[in-house]
Amino acid sequence: MSNPNEKSRHPTVLVVEDEFIIALDLSETVKDIGFALEGPFADKENAFVAIDQEMPDCAILDVHTADGEVYPLADALSEAGVPIIFHSGHVMPHELSERYPEAQAVSKPCPPDQLIDMLQRAVSQHA
């Protein structure tokens, strides 16, 4: 019998994206590969509430959210050792790698197979 307090066997991915269609697409990609979904959240305020309850195994973050830039959330996740995938149409991946050298970054739109590869790599590094 499994302990209900044990963490799920499925890695949890936090999604922060304020564009509804993109958030839905990211969420479906996460679920399609068998990962658990936390979110999606349109703003970092609600995402902070979620990570205060439980840290995810990985995060997909848009840089510009409904309540401003996602960097304070990214800093908290990075300090906790959570792998981050930045998914942005406004900031180039090389700009993010200077501030978050451990993070992966991709420009929107990102093909689902590329995102899946990035998720699997991030989760395997976190395990």
In a domain? residue 2: no
| 119, 85 Cβ separation under 8 angstroms | yes
In a domain? residue 104: yes
pLDDT at residue 4, rounded to an integer: 45
In a domain? residue 4: no
Backbone angles phi, psi at 18, to 5 degrees: -95, -5
In a domain? residue 62: yes
Counting the structural domains of the chain, the total is 1
Residues 11-42 pLDDT 10s: 999 999 999 999 999 999 999 999 999 999 99
Omega before 11 within 30 of 0, i.e. cis = no
In a domain? residue 96: yes
List the domain range (segments joined by +) for residue 76: 12-126
Residue indicated by tokens 């942005």? 88
12-16/58-61 β-pairing: parallel
Residue 127 binned pLDDT confidence (cut-offs 50, 70, 90): low
CATH of the domain at 67: 3.40.50.2300
In a domain? residue 101: yes
| 105, 88 Cβ separation under 8 angstroms | yes
What pTM value is reported for the model?
Answer: 0.90
In a domain? residue 1: no
Residues 33-71 pLDDT 10s: 999 999 999 999 999 999 999 999 999 999 999 999 999
In a domain? residue 7: no
- In the numeric block, which tokens belong to residue 7? 């963490």
**Cβ count near 98 (within 10 Å):** 7
Is residue 88 helix, strand or coil?
strand
